[in-house]
Each structure stands twice: as C-alpha cells, then as structure tokens.
Amino acid sequence: MWCDPMKHVYINEIASHVGETILLRGWIYNLRSSGKIKFLIFRDGTGFLQCVAGKADVSGEDFELISTVAQESSVEITGKVREDKRAPGGFELVLSGVRLIAGSENYPITPKEHGSSFLLDIRHLWLRSRRQHVVMKVRHHAISAIRDFLNNRGFLCLDTPIFTPNVCEGTSTLFETDYFGDKAYLSQSGQLYNEATAAAFGRVYCFGPTFRAEKSKTRRHLTEFWMVEPEVAFATLEDIIDLAEEFFEYIVLRCVESCGQELSDVLERDISKLEAVKRPFVRLHYDDAVDLLKQKGVDFEWGNDFGGGDETILGEAFDKPLLVHHYPTRVKAFYMERDPEDPEYCLSVDMLAPEGYGEMIGGGQRIHDLDQLQKRIREHDLPEEAFRWYSDLRRYGSVPHSGFGLGLERTVSYICGLKHLREAIPFPRLLNRLSP
C-alpha cells in the first residue's frame, strides 16, 4: 500500500505526535492558496486540521492535485506534525504526500451563509460542517452523562415500548399506525410503563424517542425527539426535585468539561452562563411564579399553564434553572398526585432553563391510591379497561412514587445556545419535514 508502514492517526490525537510523520484519512474541508504555498483544511471526523504544502515539499504531481482538489473530496495525506501559533488549533501538518480516494463536484455548502430550509434539505451533508460537529459532540456527551449519572446511582435502564395500544395521557395528538389491522400509536411518553418497572426494580429509567403529532411550528418543537424519564419508587415530589437538580447540573457541567473549548470557539457560547448552573437552583411555588409574571407586567390569569412566552420571561428572571412546583391540578395530567393540603394544586414540577430556553423537565409525584386514580380516570373520560394494568400497580403493594422527563434536544439546544431545536438532533423530524 501507498502509505505503509506509516501509522494512521486521528486529528484529536495529533498533539502527541509532534515531530512525527503520520498518515491521516479524511476529507478536504476548505482550500486556501497563495501561489506556491497551499493551505488546506482537512477533517477526519475527530477534528479539523490545517495542512500546509509548499511547492518544494511535495512532488509536482501532488502539488497539482492539492491545487485542484475540490471541497469534500476524500483523501489520504501524509506529513509531519508541527506546532505553530499561526495555525487554527495550534497544530498543523506539513504535507509530504496526498492521495485522492474519491473526488467531489460542486459541493452545495459554501463557506458563506445559507438558509435553514436549504440546509435541512441537505442535512446529510450539513452534518459535515464545523458547527454541526460541535452540536453533535455535545449531544453525544449529554447522552453519555445522562446514562452515567443514572447508572451510577443504581438506576436500571428498562426501555418502554414505542408501539402503544392506547392514548397514554389523553392529551397530546399521537401518530397512528396500522398494527396488523389494529390501531397502534407511537409513544408520547414511557412514563406509565416506567411506573410498572419502578414497582419491579425500584429506580428505573427509559431513554428513547418520543412522538408528538402536534402541528407545532416553533423553534421549541420536533415531532420526534428524545426523552429520558427516571422513575423512583417511594420518592416524593421533594425527592424528585432534588434528583432533577443534581441530574441537570451534572449533564451541563459534563458537557462544559468535554466540549467547553469548542462551545466557546465555534458556537460562541458564553461558558460562564453554563458554569452558573450550580445547585441549589431557584424553586418557586406556582403562585409565586404567577406573582412574578404579574410583576413583570404579564397579563396572566391564575390557574392557566404557562405559555412559551411566559416560560421565557420566568426563565430569564434568574441566572440558574428555575423549578416551578405545585401547578394547578387542572392543567396537569390525570396521574398527578394532589397536594394533600389543597387539592386545587398537584405535586408537580417543571424545570425552566435560564436565558429563555423554556421547559427542560416536567414531572412530579404520581397518584398511588387506587380509588383516587380510578376517580381521575373517569373524570378525564379515559377508557378504564385500557388502564386496567396501570391500575393494577395500585392494587398490589402500591407505594408513593415520582419521576420526571427531560427533553434531550432542549437540553442540547440550551447548552449549545442554539436558536432552534432542529440543529440538536442528527435528522430532525418537523411538521412538513420527513426527509432526509
């Protein structure tokens, strides 16, 4: 082979190879040329690296190739690693050889600005760009932090079904599919099943895709998104708020640790705002949140749920996440436990991120009394037969239990400072968008 016996290394390992001649495999990201010296920006999936080719350093044939190689052509390159302040990232490769693997013609994404519609149509290519690399890396580390946090605390990951036979909460619009002649719906939450596994295993979570057929056309909505839902047997509202705080702090700080530099350099994220995500967060009773909104001049009627604009105003009022608890019973799902002091309120909690990013977490304590649950099922006009297995959880050794759901894309979006959720998932599914 052309490259033997040289060692193939990745760009993210380059710092430990200064002075060595190495082999890299990847794609041409950009080319700058200044007569007899060429600068090519090369990417291999682990990073971006500036490569320099002087006319004297490589063969005439290779120099010609470097001069004409198109953006996103795949190549194998060899060269010597050098530390140089003039290079972005501090390291560069002095090229000694280039081999074209496959060419590329008229790559549609240019170094200038593009519209979101155009970029989403070519999402499969857009993912190659620098900005998307950072966002996807943050997504990966957020997922990894979520799993580590829960796994290290004795939670079992027990995933819940995506095909479901009934309307789980009776609120959201669901996607309907044909299931061998019967109707099945794509899951909008794993929570009811989580309650079953929590009664079997104590501390559990599910982490998977969630589907909502709402015709929402806003920056805060996807029709398919990922949600992690921990559920804990014997936990009260207070316990689950503590858990949510610790969980969110851990995810944010882990992403800052692993991607802080890129967040700051490429996405221009203000890291100090993320570093402020430290416990204790701000906790407000629903009534106090309503008062705060009114103080801010919002015309808000007690008893309603907060709209997107209200969430933005509440979240922007503090420099750390805000936990609003004890929402009115009537705006929350049927399974929410009522406040024993005042049944107008329920034992629920939402966590709103700072900087107007809105709701990251929603959860609370579930009804554990059978009579109470059946009453609520009837009040909400839900089919009792379909909820029979769910009611069983209250027939056989029912215990207080609580849980919450955290939206992955909203969390990634907040950490990265994105303007729209669609950049926080590799292939977003939106109203009017099912491809690529």
Q: What are phi and psi of 258, to 5 degrees?
A: -90, -25
# of chain residues touching RNA (CB under 7 A): 74
Per rule CB under 7 A, is residue 108 in the interface with RNA? yes
Residue 283's contacts (CB-CB under 8 Å, 6 or more residues apart) are 241, 322, 323, 325
Query: Which one of residues 47, 97, 230, 407 is an interface residue with RNA (CB under 7 A)?
Result: 407
- Binding segment (CB under 7 A) for RNA, from list 49-57, 143-151, 284-292, 369-377: 49-57
The least distance separating RNA from the CB of residue 110, rounded to whole angstroms, comes to 4
Degrees, nearest 5: CA angle 174-169-334: 160
Per rule CB under 7 A, is residue 435 in the interface with RNA? no
DSSP 430: B
Per rule CB under 7 A, is residue 19 in the interface with RNA? no
Which residue lies nearer to RNA by CB, 87 or 386? 87
Inter-helix orientation angle 388-395/191-201, to 10°: 30
End-to-end CA distance of the chain: 36
Site for RNA in 70-99 (CB under 7 A): 70-71, 84, 86-88, 92, 94
Query: Which one of residues 208, 209, 308, 328 is an interface residue with RNA (CB under 7 A)?
Result: 308
Per-residue b/e over 112-128, b at no fewer than 16 CB within 10 Å?
Answer: eeeeeeebbeebeebeb
Per rule CB under 7 A, is residue 56 in the interface with RNA? yes
Per rule CB under 7 A, is residue 358 in the interface with RNA? yes
Query: Which one of residues 7, 12, 54, 165 is an interface residue with RNA (CB under 7 A)?
Result: 54
The least distance separating RNA from the CB of residue 126, rounded to whole angstroms, comes to 12
Which residue lies nearer to RNA by CB, 51 or 393? 51
Nearest by Cα to 401 from 230, 172, 221: 230
| Residue spans of alpha helices (H) in 23-115 | 60-68
Query: Which one of residues 1, 16, 19, 35 is an interface residue with RNA (CB under 7 A)?
Result: 35
Which residue lies nearer to RNA by CB, 185 or 398? 185
Per rule CB under 7 A, is residue 346 in the interface with RNA? no
Which residue lies nearer to RNA by CB, 116 or 151? 116
Count of C-beta atoms within a 10 Å radius of residue 249: 18
Query: Which one of residues 243, 263, 360, 377 is an interface residue with RNA (CB under 7 A)?
Result: 360
Inter-helix orientation angle 370-379/388-395, to 10°: 160
Give strand pairing partners of 186: 163
Instruction: Extract the tokens encoding 183.
Output: 């109707």
The least distance separating RNA from the CB of residue 396, rounded to whole angstroms, comes to 27
Site for RNA in 119-148 (CB under 7 A): 120
Which residue lies nearer to RNA by CB, 398 or 414? 414
Query: Which one of residues 361, 377, 412, 418 is an interface residue with RNA (CB under 7 A)?
Result: 361
Which residue lies nearer to RNA by CB, 38 or 269? 38
- Binding segment (CB under 7 A) for RNA, from list 256-264, 277-285, 287-295, 400-408: 400-408
Per rule CB under 7 A, is residue 111 in the interface with RNA? yes
Site for RNA in 173-232 (CB under 7 A): 173, 189, 212, 214-223, 225, 227
The least distance separating RNA from the CB of residue 406, rounded to whole angstroms, comes to 7
Q: Is the dihedral of CA 348, 203, 157, 164 positive or negative?
A: negative
The least distance separating RNA from the CB of residue 162, rounded to whole angstroms, comes to 16
The least distance separating RNA from the CB of residue 360, rounded to whole angstroms, comes to 6
Per rule CB under 7 A, is residue 434 in the interface with RNA? no
Per rule CB under 7 A, is residue 307 in the interface with RNA? yes
Instruction: Extract the tokens encoding 355.
Output: 């900087």
Q: For residues 181 and 161, what is the distance between their CA atoms, to the nearest angstrom? A: 19
Give strand pairing partners of 227: 208, 407
Per rule CB under 7 A, is residue 241 in the interface with RNA? no
Query: Which one of residues 115, 154, 181, 397 is an interface residue with RNA (CB under 7 A)?
Result: 115
What's the maximum distance between 2 C-alpha atoms anywhere in the chain?
Answer: 85
Nearest by Cα to 172 from 118, 123, 211, 224: 211
Rama region for 161: left / alpha / beta (φ>0; ψ in -120 to 50; rest) = beta
Q: For residues 28 and 74, what is the distance between their CA atoms, to the nearest angstrom? A: 6
The least distance separating RNA from the CB of residue 371, rounded to whole angstroms, comes to 25
Q: In 128-281, where do the E strands start and end?
A: 156-157, 163-164, 176-179, 182-186, 203-211, 224-233
Which residue lies nearer to RNA by CB, 202 or 328? 328
The least distance separating RNA from the CB of residue 216, rounded to whole angstroms, comes to 3
Q: For residues 420 and 413, what is the distance between their CA atoms, to the nearest angstrom? A: 7
The least distance separating RNA from the CB of residue 204, rounded to whole angstroms, comes to 18
